[in-house]
Amino acid sequence: MKWQDLTRSGNVEDLRGSGGGLPIGGAGISVGGLVLALVAGWIFGVNPLTILGLMDSGSQQAPTTQRGEAPPDNDQQAQFVEAVLGHMEKTWKVILPQRFQPAKLAIFSGAVQSACGSANSAMGPFYCPPDQRVYLDMSFFKELETRFEARSDFARAYVIAHEVGHHVQNLMGTSDYVQQQRARQSKAQANQMSVKLELQADCYAGVWGHYAQRDNLLEPGDLEGALTAASAIGDDNLQRQSQGRVVPESFTHGSSAQRVKWFRQGMTTGRPESCDTFSAGKL
Ligand SMILES: [Zn+2]
C-alpha cells in the first residue's frame, strides 16, 4: 500500500509501556475481565455478543478507560496505523457526513483496560462500543503473517477497517439493534445475529477498500493479501484448525466464503447500503 503520504489521524493513542499490564486473574479482576478471559484466543476480538452482554450487566465495577499519548514518529508500524486510520476517517466522513465521528484507536501490548473490561493480546483486535475505541495489539499483525500467511499492508489495513466498521455500526445504532434482538433469542439465533454483525463489518471494511483503491493506494498483491486474511479468519477455517471439525451453529463471525463475499461486496460497490446482511436470505 502507498500509505506514506497519507495524512495521519490524530486519534491514535499509544498505551504500550503505560503500565497497562493488568493482573489477569488477580484479586481485583472485574466481571468483565473474567468474561473476556474466557473468550481469549478468538481471532478478531471477542465475540461481539460478549461485549454487548457486558454492557447489559450494568458493569458493577465500571471499568475505566486507559489514556495514552500519540505514538512516536519513528515507529513505522504506528505510523502505518495512523495513516490508514486517517484515510478511513476521511472516507467515512464523505460517506456519512452527518453521522460519522472518528473513533479512537488504542495501541496496546500485553493487556489493557477498556470500558468493556480488561483484555489481552490473545483476543486479537476489538472495538469497545462504550468508549468508542478500537483496541489493537501490533502482535496481531505478526500473527496474520505467520499463522495466516496474509502479508500485505492492505491485509493489516483490513483488520483496522473491520474494527472501524464496528464503530460505524455503533454510530448507526446497529449495535443497539443487535443487543435488543438477542435479548429474546436462543443461543443459535444470537450467534446468527453476531455473524450478520461481523459480516457487515467486513463489508464496511470493503467499502473503505473501494475508496483506497479509487485513491490508488493499492499495490500488486495488496488485494490478494486482504482476501487471504478474510478467508483465513473464517469460523470454519479457525474451527478446523483448533478443534478439527466445523460446527456452523456456533459460528459468530461467518465462514471463510462469507467473509470474502461480504468484503468483496463492499469493495465493489463502495456503498454501505449494499452491506445489508440483516435482511432475510442475504447471507
Ligand atoms: Zn468484528
**139, part of any domain:** yes
d(CA 282, CA 250) in angstroms, rounded, equals 19
**49, part of any domain:** yes
**Spatial CB neighbours of 41, under 8 Å, sequence gap ≥ 6:** 122, 123
Report whether 156 contacts 69 (CB < 8 A): no
**143, part of any domain:** yes
Centre of ligand 1 from the C-alpha of residue 159, in Å:
9
Give SS3 for 156: helix
Residues with CB under 5 A from ligand 1 (ion): 44, 198, 201
User: Bridge partners of 113?
Assistant: 118
Alpha carbon dihedral 14, 20, 21, 25, in 10-degree steps, equals -130
pLDDT in tens, 193-235: 999 999 999 999 999 999 999 999 999 999 999 999 888 888 8
Residue found by looking up cell 482476501 in the block = 227
**167, part of any domain:** yes
pLDDT in tens, 100-135: 999 999 999 988 989 988 888 888 899 999 999 999
The pLDDT of residue 50 is: 52
Longest Cα separation, the chain: 52
Report whether 153 contacts 125 (CB < 8 A): no
**3, part of any domain:** no
Q: What is the mean pLDDT of the chain?
A: 84
Centre of ligand 1 from the C-alpha of residue 45, in Å:
6
Backbone angles phi, psi at 135, to 5 degrees: -110, 130
In the chain, what percentage of residues exceed pLDDT 90? 54
Distance of CA 187 to the CA centre of its chain: 22
**137, part of any domain:** yes
**2, part of any domain:** no
Kindly state the cell numbers that stand for 63: 471499568
Mean of pLDDT values over 42-58:
46
Sheet strands (E) in 62-196: 104-108, 111-114, 117-120, 126-128, 133-137
**Spatial CB neighbours of 181, under 8 Å, sequence gap ≥ 6:** 193
d(CA 12, CA 268) in angstroms, rounded, equals 29
pLDDT in tens, 52-78: 444 444 444 556 777 888 999 999 999
**282, part of any domain:** no
User: Bridge partners of 134?
Assistant: 105, 127
- Cα-Cα-Cα-Cα dihedral sign, residues 216, 217, 222, 226: negative
User: Bridge partners of 136?
Assistant: 107
Kindly state the cell numbers that stand for 191: 450467534
Question: What are the angstrom distances between the C-alpha of 110 and each of 64, 70, 81, 182, 280?
Answer: 17, 18, 18, 31, 40
The pLDDT of residue 118 is: 86
pTM for the whole structure: 0.85
User: Bridge partners of 114?
Assistant: 117
Centre of ligand 1 from the C-alpha of residue 112, in Å:
18
Centre of ligand 1 from the C-alpha of residue 129, in Å:
12
Tell me how crowded residue 147 is: count the other CB atoms within 10 A of its CB: 12
Q: Which helix (H) or strand (E) holds 13?
A: strand 12-14
d(CA 251, CA 30) in angstroms, rounded, equals 27
Q: Which helix (H) or strand (E) holds 90?
A: helix 76-95
Mean of pLDDT values over 10-24:
71
Centre of ligand 1 from the C-alpha of residue 119, in Å:
15
Q: For strand 12-14 and strand 104-108, is the pairing parallel, antiparallel, or unpaired?
A: parallel
| pLDDT tier, 280 (very low <50, low <70, confident <90, very high otherwise) | confident
Highest mean pLDDT among 13-27, 41-55, 166-180, 240-254: 166-180
Q: How many domains does the chain have?
A: 1
pLDDT in tens, 138-174: 998 888 888 888 888 999 999 999 999 999 999 999 9
Centre of ligand 1 from the C-alpha of residue 268, in Å:
20
Centre of ligand 1 from the C-alpha of residue 126, in Å:
7
Q: Which range marks the domain in which residue 65 is found?
A: 12-275
